[in-house]
Structure 1
Amino acid sequence: ATQIMIMSADAELETLNDTLTRLEQDGIAKLKEDGFSDEDIEIERAMEMRYVGQVHECNVIVPNGNIDSNAAEDILQAFHKRHKELYTYDERDSAVELVNVEVSIIGKVNKPELPTLDTQVGSVESAKVDERKMIHDHTYQWMQTPIYDGNKLGAGAVVTGPALIEEPTTTIVVKPNWQADLHQSGTYKLSKIQ
Protein backbone atom coordinates (compact mmCIF):
# COMPACT_ATOMS: atom_id res chain seq x y z
CA ALA A 1 0.00 0.00 0.00
CA THR A 2 1.25 3.49 -0.77
CA GLN A 3 2.05 5.36 2.45
CA ILE A 4 4.07 8.50 1.80
CA MET A 5 5.41 10.26 4.88
CA ILE A 6 8.65 11.44 6.42
CA MET A 7 9.91 8.70 8.70
CA SER A 8 11.32 9.89 12.00
CA ALA A 9 11.12 9.10 15.70
CA ASP A 10 8.79 12.09 16.25
CA ALA A 11 6.57 11.46 13.20
CA GLU A 12 2.82 11.05 13.55
CA LEU A 13 2.55 7.27 13.30
CA GLU A 14 -1.17 6.66 13.80
CA THR A 15 -2.03 6.51 10.08
CA LEU A 16 0.91 4.18 9.41
CA ASN A 17 -0.20 1.82 12.18
CA ASP A 18 -3.79 1.94 10.90
CA THR A 19 -2.63 0.99 7.39
CA LEU A 20 -0.51 -1.91 8.68
CA THR A 21 -3.35 -3.18 10.86
CA ARG A 22 -5.83 -3.02 7.97
CA LEU A 23 -3.52 -4.91 5.62
CA GLU A 24 -2.84 -7.56 8.24
CA GLN A 25 -6.49 -8.04 9.15
CA ASP A 26 -7.50 -8.34 5.49
CA GLY A 27 -4.80 -10.96 4.84
CA ILE A 28 -5.54 -12.93 7.99
CA ALA A 29 -9.28 -12.97 7.21
CA LYS A 30 -8.58 -14.41 3.74
CA LEU A 31 -6.35 -17.15 5.14
CA LYS A 32 -8.91 -18.03 7.80
CA GLU A 33 -11.52 -18.39 5.05
CA ASP A 34 -9.15 -20.96 3.52
CA GLY A 35 -9.07 -22.89 6.80
CA PHE A 36 -5.84 -21.65 8.39
CA SER A 37 -5.78 -21.18 12.17
CA ASP A 38 -4.00 -18.42 14.11
CA GLU A 39 -1.14 -20.85 14.86
CA ASP A 40 -0.61 -21.42 11.13
CA ILE A 41 -0.37 -17.73 10.21
CA GLU A 42 2.80 -15.65 10.13
CA ILE A 43 3.10 -11.93 9.37
CA GLU A 44 6.07 -10.31 7.66
CA ARG A 45 6.35 -6.58 7.05
CA ALA A 46 8.56 -4.49 4.81
CA MET A 47 8.80 -0.81 3.96
CA GLU A 48 10.11 0.86 0.82
CA MET A 49 12.03 3.95 1.88
CA ARG A 50 14.38 6.49 0.33
CA TYR A 51 16.23 9.65 1.11
CA VAL A 52 14.07 12.66 0.20
CA GLY A 53 14.85 13.63 -3.39
CA GLN A 54 16.04 10.18 -4.46
CA VAL A 55 14.21 8.14 -7.07
CA HIS A 56 15.21 4.66 -5.87
CA GLU A 57 13.85 2.99 -2.77
CA CYS A 58 15.31 0.40 -0.41
CA ASN A 59 13.15 -2.43 0.83
CA VAL A 60 13.61 -2.79 4.60
CA ILE A 61 12.22 -5.62 6.76
CA VAL A 62 10.50 -4.10 9.79
CA PRO A 63 9.18 -5.54 13.07
CA ASN A 64 5.59 -6.55 13.68
CA GLY A 65 3.42 -4.84 16.26
CA ASN A 66 2.72 -1.18 16.92
CA ILE A 67 5.24 1.23 15.43
CA ASP A 68 6.14 3.72 18.17
CA SER A 69 8.98 6.25 18.30
CA ASN A 70 11.51 3.61 19.39
CA ALA A 71 10.47 1.24 16.59
CA ALA A 72 10.58 4.15 14.12
CA GLU A 73 14.17 4.89 15.15
CA ASP A 74 15.10 1.20 14.73
CA ILE A 75 13.51 1.22 11.26
CA LEU A 76 15.52 4.30 10.29
CA GLN A 77 18.75 2.66 11.41
CA ALA A 78 17.86 -0.47 9.41
CA PHE A 79 17.21 1.75 6.37
CA HIS A 80 20.59 3.51 6.63
CA LYS A 81 22.33 0.14 6.95
CA ARG A 82 20.44 -1.36 3.99
CA HIS A 83 21.12 1.71 1.83
CA LYS A 84 24.83 1.42 2.55
CA GLU A 85 24.80 -2.30 1.70
CA LEU A 86 23.13 -1.59 -1.65
CA TYR A 87 24.74 1.69 -2.69
CA THR A 88 27.99 1.86 -0.59
CA TYR A 89 26.99 5.02 1.31
CA ASP A 90 24.36 6.42 3.65
CA GLU A 91 23.19 9.92 4.52
CA ARG A 92 22.28 9.76 8.18
CA ASP A 93 21.62 13.51 8.38
CA SER A 94 19.17 13.46 5.45
CA ALA A 95 15.40 13.13 5.81
CA VAL A 96 14.01 9.68 5.04
CA GLU A 97 10.75 9.21 3.18
CA LEU A 98 8.51 6.17 3.53
CA VAL A 99 6.90 5.37 0.17
CA ASN A 100 5.19 1.98 0.44
CA VAL A 101 4.39 -0.58 3.09
CA GLU A 102 4.12 -4.29 2.35
CA VAL A 103 2.54 -6.93 4.53
CA SER A 104 2.91 -10.62 3.73
CA ILE A 105 0.48 -12.96 5.46
CA ILE A 106 1.85 -16.49 5.25
CA GLY A 107 -0.16 -19.63 5.89
CA LYS A 108 2.04 -22.51 7.00
CA VAL A 109 1.15 -25.97 5.75
CA ASN A 110 2.52 -29.34 6.68
CA LYS A 111 5.27 -30.72 4.51
CA PRO A 112 3.83 -33.04 1.89
CA GLU A 113 4.54 -36.69 2.36
CA LEU A 114 6.77 -38.21 -0.28
CA PRO A 115 5.12 -40.92 -2.36
CA THR A 116 6.26 -44.46 -1.83
CA LEU A 117 6.50 -46.69 -4.88
CA ASP A 118 6.01 -50.40 -4.72
CA THR A 119 9.19 -52.41 -5.12
CA GLN A 120 9.93 -53.54 -8.66
CA VAL A 121 8.07 -56.77 -9.29
CA GLY A 122 9.04 -58.17 -12.71
CA SER A 123 11.92 -57.24 -14.90
CA VAL A 124 12.74 -53.83 -16.29
CA GLU A 125 12.32 -55.43 -19.71
CA SER A 126 8.59 -55.90 -18.99
CA ALA A 127 8.25 -52.07 -18.83
CA LYS A 128 9.66 -51.73 -22.35
CA VAL A 129 7.02 -50.37 -24.72
CA ASP A 130 8.96 -49.56 -27.88
CA GLU A 131 12.37 -48.73 -29.32
CA ARG A 132 13.73 -46.35 -31.91
CA LYS A 133 17.00 -45.14 -33.35
CA MET A 134 18.48 -42.05 -31.71
CA ILE A 135 21.67 -40.00 -31.80
CA HIS A 136 23.08 -39.56 -28.26
CA ASP A 137 26.41 -37.77 -28.71
CA HIS A 138 28.77 -35.86 -31.00
CA THR A 139 29.68 -39.00 -32.97
CA TYR A 140 26.26 -38.75 -34.66
CA GLN A 141 25.92 -42.53 -34.69
CA TRP A 142 22.39 -43.89 -34.66
CA MET A 143 21.78 -46.21 -31.71
CA GLN A 144 18.80 -48.49 -31.18
CA THR A 145 17.22 -47.09 -28.00
CA PRO A 146 14.59 -48.88 -25.90
CA ILE A 147 11.68 -46.84 -24.54
CA TYR A 148 10.27 -47.67 -21.11
CA ASP A 149 6.95 -46.76 -19.49
CA GLY A 150 7.96 -45.19 -16.16
CA ASN A 151 4.58 -46.11 -14.66
CA LYS A 152 5.51 -49.79 -15.04
CA LEU A 153 8.82 -49.42 -13.21
CA GLY A 154 8.97 -49.89 -9.45
CA ALA A 155 11.33 -48.87 -6.68
CA GLY A 156 14.77 -50.37 -7.18
CA ALA A 157 14.47 -50.57 -10.96
CA VAL A 158 17.72 -49.82 -12.80
CA VAL A 159 17.52 -48.73 -16.44
CA THR A 160 20.82 -48.84 -18.34
CA GLY A 161 21.41 -46.46 -21.22
CA PRO A 162 20.88 -45.86 -23.98
CA ALA A 163 17.22 -45.58 -23.04
CA LEU A 164 14.20 -43.30 -22.79
CA ILE A 165 11.90 -43.38 -19.77
CA GLU A 166 8.48 -41.87 -20.42
CA GLU A 167 6.78 -40.39 -17.35
CA PRO A 168 3.41 -38.56 -17.31
CA THR A 169 5.08 -35.14 -17.03
CA THR A 170 8.52 -35.67 -18.57
CA THR A 171 10.76 -37.90 -20.63
CA ILE A 172 14.13 -38.93 -19.21
CA VAL A 173 17.03 -39.57 -21.58
CA VAL A 174 19.58 -42.06 -20.28
CA LYS A 175 22.74 -41.79 -22.35
CA PRO A 176 25.02 -44.72 -23.17
CA ASN A 177 27.24 -45.68 -20.20
CA TRP A 178 24.76 -44.12 -17.79
CA GLN A 179 22.05 -45.66 -15.65
CA ALA A 180 18.85 -44.44 -13.97
CA ASP A 181 18.00 -45.84 -10.54
CA LEU A 182 14.39 -45.37 -9.46
CA HIS A 183 14.10 -44.48 -5.75
CA GLN A 184 11.03 -45.45 -3.71
CA SER A 185 10.13 -41.72 -3.54
CA GLY A 186 9.57 -41.74 -7.31
CA THR A 187 12.75 -39.84 -8.20
CA TYR A 188 15.43 -41.06 -10.57
CA LYS A 189 19.12 -40.92 -9.81
CA LEU A 190 21.22 -40.72 -12.97
CA SER A 191 24.84 -41.82 -12.67
CA LYS A 192 27.68 -42.71 -14.98
CA ILE A 193 28.58 -46.40 -15.04
CA GLN A 194 32.15 -46.82 -13.82
Structure 2
Amino acid sequence: MPMWCWGGCGPAAYADGSVNIHPELAYKAISEHVAHPLGLTVEGAAIGIIRLAEQNMLHAMERTSSERGVNPQALTLVACGGAGALHGVAVARLLGCRSVFVPRLAGVFCAFGMCNSNIRHDLIQSCMVELSDNTLARISEQVAEREGEQRARLLASFSNEAIVLDCFLELRYQGQQWTVRVPFFGRTDTVQTLRHRFEEEFSSIYGYVQERNQVQIVAFHLIGKGRFPVIALEAAEASAESPQASNTRSVWIGPRTGFVDARVFSPSKLHPGSTIIGPAVIEELTTTILIGAADVLLVDEGGNYSIQLSISELLIFTEN
Protein backbone atom coordinates (compact mmCIF):
# COMPACT_ATOMS: atom_id res chain seq x y z
CA MET A 1 0.00 0.00 0.00
CA PRO A 2 1.50 3.39 -0.99
CA MET A 3 1.90 5.90 1.85
CA TRP A 4 0.27 8.92 0.25
CA CYS A 5 -1.67 11.77 1.80
CA TRP A 6 -4.35 14.13 0.55
CA GLY A 7 -2.99 17.12 2.37
CA GLY A 8 -4.57 16.18 5.69
CA CYS A 9 -3.11 14.31 8.61
CA GLY A 10 0.02 12.31 7.98
CA PRO A 11 0.22 8.60 8.72
CA ALA A 12 1.20 9.06 12.36
CA ALA A 13 -0.02 10.39 15.70
CA TYR A 14 -2.09 13.55 15.48
CA ALA A 15 -3.19 16.26 17.95
CA ASP A 16 -0.15 15.88 20.20
CA GLY A 17 -0.46 12.09 20.12
CA SER A 18 -4.10 11.95 21.29
CA VAL A 19 -5.27 10.57 17.93
CA ASN A 20 -3.58 7.84 15.91
CA ILE A 21 -4.00 7.85 12.14
CA HIS A 22 -4.23 4.44 10.46
CA PRO A 23 -3.92 5.05 6.70
CA GLU A 24 -4.15 1.34 5.94
CA LEU A 25 -7.74 1.29 7.20
CA ALA A 26 -8.69 4.27 5.04
CA TYR A 27 -7.01 2.61 2.05
CA LYS A 28 -8.93 -0.61 2.69
CA ALA A 29 -12.29 1.16 3.10
CA ILE A 30 -11.92 3.15 -0.14
CA SER A 31 -10.71 0.07 -2.00
CA GLU A 32 -13.61 -2.15 -0.90
CA HIS A 33 -16.48 0.34 -0.95
CA VAL A 34 -15.60 2.79 -3.73
CA ALA A 35 -12.66 1.87 -5.94
CA HIS A 36 -13.42 -1.81 -6.59
CA PRO A 37 -17.19 -1.38 -7.24
CA LEU A 38 -16.48 1.48 -9.68
CA GLY A 39 -13.47 -0.12 -11.36
CA LEU A 40 -11.11 2.64 -10.22
CA THR A 41 -7.72 2.71 -8.61
CA VAL A 42 -7.76 3.53 -4.91
CA GLU A 43 -5.92 6.78 -5.64
CA GLY A 44 -8.42 7.71 -8.35
CA ALA A 45 -11.37 6.95 -6.07
CA ALA A 46 -9.92 9.03 -3.24
CA ILE A 47 -9.28 11.93 -5.61
CA GLY A 48 -12.87 11.68 -6.82
CA ILE A 49 -14.16 11.82 -3.25
CA ILE A 50 -12.17 14.98 -2.57
CA ARG A 51 -13.21 16.70 -5.80
CA LEU A 52 -16.87 15.86 -5.20
CA ALA A 53 -16.68 17.23 -1.64
CA GLU A 54 -15.05 20.44 -2.88
CA GLN A 55 -17.65 20.79 -5.62
CA ASN A 56 -20.38 20.63 -2.98
CA MET A 57 -18.54 23.30 -0.98
CA LEU A 58 -18.32 25.41 -4.13
CA HIS A 59 -22.09 25.23 -4.68
CA ALA A 60 -22.72 26.26 -1.06
CA MET A 61 -20.43 29.26 -1.51
CA GLU A 62 -22.11 30.21 -4.78
CA ARG A 63 -25.51 30.25 -3.10
CA THR A 64 -24.26 32.88 -0.65
CA SER A 65 -22.25 34.92 -3.15
CA SER A 66 -22.78 34.90 -6.91
CA GLU A 67 -26.44 33.85 -6.64
CA ARG A 68 -26.99 36.97 -4.51
CA GLY A 69 -25.21 39.25 -6.95
CA VAL A 70 -21.85 39.29 -5.12
CA ASN A 71 -18.69 38.72 -7.16
CA PRO A 72 -16.51 36.26 -5.15
CA GLN A 73 -13.47 37.15 -7.26
CA ALA A 74 -13.26 40.46 -5.42
CA LEU A 75 -13.35 38.79 -1.99
CA THR A 76 -11.07 36.82 0.31
CA LEU A 77 -12.29 33.37 1.28
CA VAL A 78 -12.09 32.75 5.04
CA ALA A 79 -11.53 29.06 5.74
CA CYS A 80 -12.60 27.82 9.17
CA GLY A 81 -13.36 24.52 10.80
CA GLY A 82 -11.29 21.39 11.13
CA ALA A 83 -11.47 20.67 7.38
CA GLY A 84 -12.04 24.19 6.05
CA ALA A 85 -8.33 25.03 5.84
CA LEU A 86 -7.64 21.76 4.02
CA HIS A 87 -10.06 22.58 1.20
CA GLY A 88 -10.01 26.38 1.35
CA VAL A 89 -7.42 26.97 -1.37
CA ALA A 90 -9.05 24.54 -3.81
CA VAL A 91 -12.53 25.99 -3.28
CA ALA A 92 -11.16 29.53 -3.62
CA ARG A 93 -9.69 28.59 -7.00
CA LEU A 94 -13.01 27.21 -8.14
CA LEU A 95 -14.71 30.44 -7.04
CA GLY A 96 -12.06 32.59 -8.69
CA CYS A 97 -10.93 34.19 -5.42
CA ARG A 98 -7.39 35.53 -5.29
CA SER A 99 -6.73 35.02 -1.58
CA VAL A 100 -7.60 32.85 1.42
CA PHE A 101 -7.47 33.72 5.11
CA VAL A 102 -7.09 30.96 7.71
CA PRO A 103 -7.40 31.97 11.40
CA ARG A 104 -4.82 30.39 13.69
CA LEU A 105 -7.70 28.83 15.66
CA ALA A 106 -9.59 27.74 12.56
CA GLY A 107 -10.37 24.28 13.94
CA VAL A 108 -12.14 25.72 17.00
CA PHE A 109 -13.33 28.93 15.36
CA CYS A 110 -17.03 28.38 16.11
CA ALA A 111 -16.39 27.39 19.74
CA PHE A 112 -14.08 30.36 20.23
CA GLY A 113 -16.66 32.69 18.75
CA MET A 114 -19.47 31.24 20.85
CA CYS A 115 -17.47 31.68 24.07
CA ASN A 116 -16.68 35.31 23.21
CA SER A 117 -19.87 36.44 21.49
CA ASN A 118 -22.12 39.14 22.85
CA ILE A 119 -25.22 38.07 24.74
CA ARG A 120 -28.32 38.62 22.63
CA HIS A 121 -32.06 38.55 23.40
CA ASP A 122 -34.57 38.64 20.52
CA LEU A 123 -38.19 39.61 20.95
CA ILE A 124 -40.58 39.34 18.00
CA GLN A 125 -44.17 40.50 18.38
CA SER A 126 -46.80 40.10 15.68
CA CYS A 127 -48.88 43.12 14.69
CA MET A 128 -50.56 42.57 11.30
CA VAL A 129 -51.86 46.11 10.80
CA GLU A 130 -51.76 48.67 8.01
CA LEU A 131 -48.96 51.23 8.12
CA SER A 132 -50.70 54.42 9.26
CA ASP A 133 -50.19 57.24 11.73
CA ASN A 134 -52.43 55.61 14.36
CA THR A 135 -50.93 52.11 14.13
CA LEU A 136 -47.40 53.53 14.09
CA ALA A 137 -48.08 55.48 17.28
CA ARG A 138 -49.38 52.36 19.05
CA ILE A 139 -46.40 50.27 17.92
CA SER A 140 -43.99 52.99 19.07
CA GLU A 141 -45.52 52.75 22.56
CA GLN A 142 -45.25 48.96 22.57
CA VAL A 143 -41.64 49.10 21.42
CA ALA A 144 -40.74 51.62 24.13
CA GLU A 145 -42.30 49.36 26.76
CA ARG A 146 -40.47 46.29 25.47
CA GLU A 147 -37.19 48.20 25.30
CA GLY A 148 -37.49 48.82 29.03
CA GLU A 149 -37.98 45.09 29.61
CA GLN A 150 -35.00 44.19 27.41
CA ARG A 151 -32.74 46.70 29.14
CA ALA A 152 -33.78 45.48 32.60
CA ARG A 153 -33.05 41.89 31.59
CA LEU A 154 -29.56 42.76 30.35
CA LEU A 155 -28.75 45.03 33.31
CA ALA A 156 -28.57 41.89 35.45
CA SER A 157 -25.27 41.06 33.74
CA PHE A 158 -24.05 44.20 31.93
CA SER A 159 -23.53 47.86 32.63
CA ASN A 160 -25.87 50.30 30.92
CA GLU A 161 -23.03 51.43 28.61
CA ALA A 162 -22.54 47.86 27.37
CA ILE A 163 -26.18 47.45 26.29
CA VAL A 164 -27.35 48.08 22.72
CA LEU A 165 -30.99 47.93 21.58
CA ASP A 166 -32.00 47.72 17.92
CA CYS A 167 -35.51 47.52 16.54
CA PHE A 168 -36.78 46.47 13.11
CA LEU A 169 -40.19 46.30 11.48
CA GLU A 170 -41.25 43.41 9.26
CA LEU A 171 -43.13 45.09 6.39
CA ARG A 172 -44.82 43.81 3.25
CA TYR A 173 -47.19 44.91 0.55
CA GLN A 174 -50.78 43.82 1.14
CA GLY A 175 -51.34 40.38 -0.37
CA GLN A 176 -47.69 39.34 -0.37
CA GLN A 177 -46.28 36.43 1.60
CA TRP A 178 -42.72 37.49 2.37
CA THR A 179 -41.74 40.44 4.53
CA VAL A 180 -38.86 42.91 4.26
CA ARG A 181 -37.10 43.97 7.44
CA VAL A 182 -36.25 47.65 7.89
CA PRO A 183 -34.77 49.59 10.84
CA PHE A 184 -37.25 51.33 13.15
CA PHE A 185 -36.24 54.32 15.29
CA GLY A 186 -39.41 54.72 17.31
CA ARG A 187 -41.29 58.01 17.53
CA THR A 188 -38.81 59.79 15.24
CA ASP A 189 -40.03 57.69 12.30
CA THR A 190 -43.06 58.64 10.22
CA VAL A 191 -45.24 56.71 7.81
CA GLN A 192 -43.45 58.40 4.92
CA THR A 193 -39.92 57.62 6.13
CA LEU A 194 -40.80 53.99 6.83
CA ARG A 195 -42.49 53.51 3.48
CA HIS A 196 -39.49 55.06 1.72
CA ARG A 197 -37.10 52.83 3.68
CA PHE A 198 -39.22 49.76 2.90
CA GLU A 199 -39.50 50.48 -0.83
CA GLU A 200 -35.77 51.13 -1.16
CA GLU A 201 -35.05 47.72 0.34
CA PHE A 202 -37.88 46.04 -1.58
CA SER A 203 -36.61 47.49 -4.86
CA SER A 204 -33.05 46.33 -4.18
CA ILE A 205 -34.35 42.77 -3.68
CA TYR A 206 -37.08 42.49 -6.31
CA GLY A 207 -36.31 45.29 -8.76
CA TYR A 208 -39.64 47.12 -8.58
CA VAL A 209 -42.08 48.81 -6.16
CA GLN A 210 -45.87 48.96 -5.89
CA GLU A 211 -46.54 52.64 -5.28
CA ARG A 212 -50.33 52.28 -5.02
CA ASN A 213 -50.37 49.20 -2.79
CA GLN A 214 -50.90 49.40 0.96
CA VAL A 215 -47.95 48.56 3.20
CA GLN A 216 -48.61 46.34 6.21
CA ILE A 217 -46.69 45.97 9.48
CA VAL A 218 -46.48 42.25 10.17
CA ALA A 219 -44.28 42.33 13.29
CA PHE A 220 -41.64 44.26 15.16
CA HIS A 221 -38.32 42.68 16.07
CA LEU A 222 -36.47 44.03 19.09
CA ILE A 223 -32.85 42.92 19.59
CA GLY A 224 -31.08 43.53 22.87
CA LYS A 225 -27.31 42.96 23.08
CA GLY A 226 -24.94 42.89 26.02
CA ARG A 227 -21.44 43.57 24.69
CA PHE A 228 -18.33 42.02 26.16
CA PRO A 229 -15.01 43.89 25.97
CA VAL A 230 -13.11 43.38 22.73
CA ILE A 231 -10.44 40.69 23.06
CA ALA A 232 -6.99 42.17 22.73
CA LEU A 233 -4.52 39.69 21.26
CA GLU A 234 -0.85 40.22 21.92
CA ALA A 235 1.19 40.27 18.74
CA ALA A 236 3.91 37.63 18.61
CA GLU A 237 7.47 38.66 17.93
CA ALA A 238 8.39 38.72 14.26
CA SER A 239 11.29 36.71 12.93
CA ALA A 240 13.41 37.14 9.82
CA GLU A 241 14.50 33.50 9.84
CA SER A 242 13.31 31.30 6.98
CA PRO A 243 10.94 28.63 8.30
CA GLN A 244 12.30 25.10 8.24
CA ALA A 245 10.14 22.15 7.25
CA SER A 246 9.85 19.31 9.75
CA ASN A 247 9.63 16.72 6.95
CA THR A 248 8.27 16.08 3.45
CA ARG A 249 5.66 13.68 2.18
CA SER A 250 3.81 12.88 -1.00
CA VAL A 251 0.64 14.93 -1.19
CA TRP A 252 -2.06 15.25 -3.85
CA ILE A 253 -2.33 18.98 -4.57
CA GLY A 254 -4.86 19.19 -7.39
CA PRO A 255 -5.91 17.85 -10.80
CA ARG A 256 -3.09 19.65 -12.63
CA THR A 257 -0.24 19.27 -10.14
CA GLY A 258 -1.13 15.76 -8.98
CA PHE A 259 1.13 14.17 -6.36
CA VAL A 260 4.21 16.10 -5.25
CA ASP A 261 6.70 15.89 -2.41
CA ALA A 262 5.41 18.75 -0.29
CA ARG A 263 7.19 20.29 2.67
CA VAL A 264 5.39 19.89 6.00
CA PHE A 265 5.64 22.67 8.59
CA SER A 266 4.87 22.76 12.29
CA PRO A 267 3.25 26.00 13.56
CA SER A 268 5.81 26.11 16.38
CA LYS A 269 8.45 26.87 13.74
CA LEU A 270 6.45 29.72 12.21
CA HIS A 271 6.43 33.33 13.38
CA PRO A 272 4.91 36.61 12.18
CA GLY A 273 6.54 37.44 8.88
CA SER A 274 7.25 33.81 7.98
CA THR A 275 6.64 33.18 4.28
CA ILE A 276 6.14 29.81 2.62
CA ILE A 277 5.82 29.12 -1.09
CA GLY A 278 3.74 26.06 -1.95
CA PRO A 279 3.19 23.30 -2.37
CA ALA A 280 3.25 22.82 1.38
CA VAL A 281 1.29 21.59 4.38
CA ILE A 282 0.91 23.34 7.75
CA GLU A 283 -0.06 20.94 10.53
CA GLU A 284 -1.87 23.09 13.08
CA LEU A 285 -3.13 21.52 16.29
CA THR A 286 -6.80 21.70 15.28
CA THR A 287 -6.61 21.78 11.48
CA THR A 288 -4.39 21.19 8.46
CA ILE A 289 -3.64 23.86 5.86
CA LEU A 290 -2.86 22.82 2.30
CA ILE A 291 -1.35 25.39 -0.08
CA GLY A 292 -0.95 24.70 -3.77
CA ALA A 293 1.98 25.02 -6.13
CA ALA A 294 3.33 28.60 -6.30
CA ASP A 295 0.84 29.87 -3.73
CA VAL A 296 2.36 32.16 -1.09
CA LEU A 297 1.48 31.88 2.60
CA LEU A 298 2.29 34.69 5.03
CA VAL A 299 1.96 34.51 8.82
CA ASP A 300 0.56 37.79 10.20
CA GLU A 301 1.25 39.38 13.60
CA GLY A 302 -1.65 37.46 15.18
CA GLY A 303 -0.36 34.11 13.97
CA ASN A 304 -3.05 33.82 11.30
CA TYR A 305 -2.37 32.67 7.75
CA SER A 306 -2.90 34.78 4.63
CA ILE A 307 -2.57 32.86 1.36
CA GLN A 308 -2.20 34.55 -2.02
CA LEU A 309 -3.12 32.23 -4.85
CA SER A 310 -0.90 31.91 -7.89
CA ILE A 311 -2.51 33.72 -10.82
CA SER A 312 -1.24 31.19 -13.40
CA GLU A 313 -2.50 28.28 -11.32
CA LEU A 314 -5.82 30.07 -10.80
CA LEU A 315 -6.41 30.55 -14.53
CA ILE A 316 -5.47 26.98 -15.42
CA PHE A 317 -7.57 25.54 -12.58
CA THR A 318 -10.58 27.60 -13.62
CA GLU A 319 -10.27 26.57 -17.26
CA ASN A 320 -10.19 22.92 -16.28
Q: Structure 1 length as normaliser, TM-score?
A: 0.72
How big is the alpha-carbon RMSD for the aligned residues of Structure 1 and Structure 2? 3.3
Which deviations, in whole Å up to 9, do the C-alpha atoms of 1:98-156 show, x marking residues without a partner? Answer: 2111112234454432441233497632x61x43112334253x422232111332223
- Tell me, in whole angstroms, the C-alpha distance in 2 between the residues paired with 1:187 and 1:28: 37
The aligned residue for residue 88 of structure 1 is 208
How many corresponding residue pairs? 184
Structure with higher Rg: it is 1
Q: 1:119 to 1:2 in 2, by over 3 A?
A: same
Which residue of 109, 120, 127 maps to 1:3?
127
Give the equivalent residue in structure 1 for 2:236.
Answer: 117
SS in 1 for 2:293: coil
Cα distance in 2 between the residues matched to 1:84 and 1:178: 41
Q: Normalized against structure 2, the TM-score is what?
A: 0.48
Higher strand share: 1
Alignment of 1:132-151 (within 5 A): 132-137=249-254, 138-140=256-258, 142-151=259-268
Change (3 A) 1:147 1:98: same
Q: 1:20 aligns with which of 138, 143, 148?
A: 143
Tell me the secondary structure at the aligned position of residue 113 of structure 1. coil
Within 5 Å, give how 1:53-68 maps onto structure 2.
53-64=175-186, 66=187
Deviation of 1:173 (Å): 1.9
Q: Of Structure 1 and Structure 2, which has the larger fraction of its residues in helix?
A: 2
Shift of residue 164, structure 1, vs aligned partner: 0.9
Contact 1:180 1:189 (C-alpha < 8 Å) held by counterparts: yes
- Aligned-pair identity (%): 21
1:163–1:175 Cα contact (<8 Å) kept: yes
List alignment gaps of at least 5 residues for structure 2.
Answer: 1-124, 311-320
Q: Is the 8 A contact 1:9 1:73 kept in 2?
A: no
More divergent stretch after superposition (52-61 vs 72-81)? 72-81
1:156 to 273, 281, 287: 273
- Deviation per CA, 1:54-104: give whole Å up to 9, x if none: 33333232213x47xx73453344445544554513244x54332111112
Q: 1:104 aligns with which of 223, 237, 243?
A: 223
